[in-house]
Structure 1
Amino acid sequence: MDYSKDILNTLVDMYERREYYIKEPSSLRAIQIDIKKTYPEYVDRYDHNAYKDINAAIEKLINEGLIISKLESTGIYSKVRLNIDRIADCYKKLNRKSIPEQCEYIKQILSSFANSKYRLLNNIISDWMNLAINYGKLPYDLRYDGKRLKDVLTILEAVFKIEKESYIRNFSTAVFKDSKRFQKEFKSCIENILFDYTDDPIEKDKILEYYNLYENPTYVYIKGDVIISFENSTIYAVELPDGIALSNASLKRIRNIKVLTKAVITVENLTTYHDENKKEAVYIYLGGYHNKSKEELLEKIYKNNKSCEYLHEGDIDIYGFLILENLKEKTGIPFKPLLMDINTLKRFYEAGIYKELNISDIRMIEKNRENLKEYSEVLDFMLLNNCKVEQESLRAVRLPEDS
């Protein structure tokens, strides 16, 4: 071990933790370490080499004027104190940047991405600039890491530019010339940032899909008595027991959709889609978050089939209701909740088919209560009984009931 560097790094770390770089010199207390506690081997009678090496390191730093210490009559140094007046030389010796220097670099990077045409990116930059101005650490484990900050901002800018369904590996190759780097080094960080700054209510594991970034191609599943017309062909979905799966690219090629049932039902879960089979309804599984192309599909269906009743069967949790309201807002379609009422929730709860709320769920419920007054009875039950339900299928409830 290089004891001289280790001792100096330890003292400088303490200097930074106490934020002495922003305090008046007259208010600074001594920064020192107990050598025996920091290096137990120093007083190990069987490790004479450690004793010699540590003494040599301390004496070298004393001679350089970077630390202050006194050799005791027993031949050991008990306390070692940082010479704060020489802090700049300490950083130079360690080839280490001070916090103010790192923050200055961070401000330069943030400024280079400022005034973006993307509102969310500007919001992020503004928040982080305020932290850097006050020598604060950046969140999301970025701290004072300017290089990683630049990579993260580059990724965010690229994400906001995506306008059609893209795949994570292709995205990573485009940004880094490496198909796996985004997933390995940045995916979790980017998900957290987007989750915190995105206005629409999106679950964290769906946030990349919201921005058109997917692990694999996604499909919209449609089944029931519906006729889907393309430029040169027509599909009668009723003839296919499990319906038809259409990619995002295929959705744009649809010319017309004629619904021959009384209702159109969108579902959040693929299990529900496969289990439900009412002849009087057309079922649509959106295959993840309803992005622009999926919203356009729903708008196209509604435009030509306004006499139908439009229902949405989603999870009975805060995000299920937020997704429903967001779906109504984005498409202009008067969707009504299906099997998302208090009686259905109680049925799941009494069957023991539920999950407990997490802190995020509770915060989101309290934050959105005013906008979700229509569902207050269900939300109150969720809070009172600490429960939420993934809307897989009523068959899951019937199994224990029938046994």
Structure 2
Amino acid sequence: MNYKHKIINYLLDRYEHSANYRGTSKRSVILKVNSKLFPSYWDDSSPDFRNSFHLALKELTAQNAISYSWNKHAIGIEVDKITLSLSNIENVYKIVDRTPKSSLEDQLRSAVNQWHHKLPLWCNEFIEAMRAALDSKTTLPIGLKYESIELLLDIFKLLTSLNSNDVIPKRVISSKLFGDSKYIENNLEQKLIKLLRKFHPLTNFNNENEELLGLVGISSNADHIFLSGPLTLKYLGNLLNLDFFKPDVGVPSSLIAEADIYELRAKRVLTIENKTTFYLLASKENTDTLLIYLGGFHNQVRQKFLAKLWASAPNIEFAHWGDIDLGGFKIFQLLSTGSGVPIVPYKMDLETYHTFYTHGQEMTHEYMSKLKLLLNSEEYLVFHSLIREMLVKRFRLEQEVIPL
């Protein structure tokens, strides 16, 4: 064991997490020699460890890296405390060949500044959170480490290569960008999920991981649109009658994009945000409603599909059922404006909210501030009364708690 490296790295870890490093205190950085950090030091059957440990301390003292003191009841036998030499901190890092945290901060700050304007607009909040953490020398968002520069650069590379209007299988984009079909899955996905859950404006607290990836156009497999109800498609001269598929069927988005609407026998088309709600509705006897599961996907394929359905049956109702929250409202708005279809909200109204809001999640002040901003936009006029009531009651409501 390299005792010198272990001692110095313990001290540097403590220093980099200290108020002294952040510039808010001038207290010394001290390491107590205890059985938790150095169990062998207190093991009488391992005298060689203590001797080697003391020798390492003497050498580090000679290098002006530390100072240390003895237990006053066992002078020359038991070390009590080790103090880091802050006046010689640059050389201390060199002793263990460790990159100073300040250098790592500079690298991260440079990466953030370089990529900021290349990233999707929704990343702005994450960028500001990164800058705030770097400026205050505190914990980075989404569990990033200061040594995670390569990981962060790969996430930036991935996000700038995606188009949320298209869907690409995870392993395809992984192979294309990184030369390894499982690289995203093994190295980036966990942090990407945290990033999306925390910062993407369309995320909801109940989103599954697959739905979150769908927000940026990544699918686990080939993209499918799940449908249930009275619809017949025509593709390459063949008819596909959805009535034969119970309770639902997943149709490849590539087929949806090229197929024609042969016959829509529904009185209403209902897009659904939540998977559980979709399957429960699809499992019920249904002869007059075409159900479309969206999940995290609201791209152009789905928007154009809605437009084709509307063109074939402009007199029937088109509705969307989503969560009564920030993400649900934004998905409704994107579907409506992106498709050009006069979509109306379904069970996203004051009556539904008043009945079930106590089953929802309490909103934070930060969340309420974001929700309040929608009151400044005419695009969300249909929800303004509901939003005002939500700001009073302070609850948001997920789709699953609302009966079918």
TM-score band, normalised by shorter chain: 0.7 to 0.9
Q: Structure 2 residue aligned with 1:211, among 209, 212, 216?
A: 216
| SS at 1:252 equivalent | helix
Equivalent residue for 1:57? 56
Q: How does 1:179-258 map to 2 (within 5 A)?
A: 179-201=181-203, 204-205=207-208, 206-230=211-235, 232-237=237-242, 245-256=250-261, 258=263
The CA RMSD over aligned residues, in Å, is 3.9
TM-superposed deviation, 1:244: 5.5
Equivalent residue for 1:28? 26
- 1:368 counterpart = 2:371: yes
Q: Deviations over 1:278-324 (max 9, x none)?
A: 43333334465332201110012123322112233445777555544
Matches of 1:259 and 1:341, distance apart in 2:
27
Query: Contact conserved, 1:163 with 1:212, CA < 8 A, in 2?
Result: yes
Equivalent residue for 1:9? 9
Q: Deviations over 1:135-180 (max 9, x none)?
A: 444322223122222222222223x346522111222222332222
Equivalent residue for 1:390? 400
User: Which amino acid in structure 1 is aligned with residue 87 of structure 2?
Assistant: D
Number of matched residues?
385
| SS at 1:312 equivalent | strand
User: Which amino acid in structure 1 is aligned with residue 144 of structure 2?
Assistant: L
Q: Structure 1 residue aligned with 2:267, among 256, 262, 268?
A: 262
Q: Structure 1 residue aligned with 2:318, among 310, 320, 323?
A: 310
Between 203-212 and 30-39, report the one with greater CA deviation.
Answer: 30-39
Equivalent residue for 1:156? 159
- 1:102 counterpart = 2:110: no
Matches of 1:36 and 1:238, distance apart in 2:
72
Query: Contact conserved, 1:271 with 1:392, CA < 8 A, in 2?
Result: no
- 1:74 counterpart = 2:83: no
User: Which amino acid in structure 2 is aligned with residue 58 of structure 1?
Assistant: L
TM-superposed deviation, 1:114: 4.3
User: Which amino acid in structure 2 is aligned with residue 249 of structure 1?
Assistant: S
Which stretches in structure 2 are left out of the alignment for 5+ residues?
none
Query: Contact conserved, 1:357 with 1:387, CA < 8 A, in 2?
Result: yes
- 1:48 counterpart = 2:47: yes
User: Which amino acid in structure 2 is aligned with residue 290 of structure 1?
Assistant: H
Q: How does 1:292-371 map to 2 (within 5 A)?
A: 292-314=300-322, 320=328, 323-338=331-346, 357-358=360-361, 364=367, 367-368=370-371, 370=375
Structure 1 residues 389 and 379, CA gap change in structure 2 (3 angstroms): farther
User: Which amino acid in structure 1 is aligned with residue 76 of structure 2?
Assistant: G
TM-superposed deviation, 1:249: 0.3
Which stretches in structure 1 are left out of the alignment for 5+ residues?
395-403
Matches of 1:343 and 1:113, distance apart in 2:
45
Matches of 1:102 and 1:241, distance apart in 2:
56
Equivalent residue for 2:143? 141
Matches of 1:338 and 1:374, distance apart in 2:
15
Query: Contact conserved, 2:164 with 2:299, CA < 8 A, in 1?
Result: no
Query: Contact conserved, 1:271 with 1:393, CA < 8 A, in 2?
Result: no
Equivalent residue for 1:282? 290
Between 91-100 and 145-154, report the one with greater CA deviation.
Answer: 145-154
Query: Contact conserved, 1:273 with 1:285, CA < 8 A, in 2?
Result: no
After superposing on structure 2, the runs of 4+ consecutive aligned residues of structure 1 that deviate more than 6 Å are 341-347, 360-363, 380-384
Equivalent residue for 1:291? 299
Give the fraction of aligned pairs with identical amino acids, expressed as a percent.
20
Between 58-67 and 251-260, report the one with greater CA deviation.
Answer: 251-260
TM-superposed deviation, 1:69: 3.1
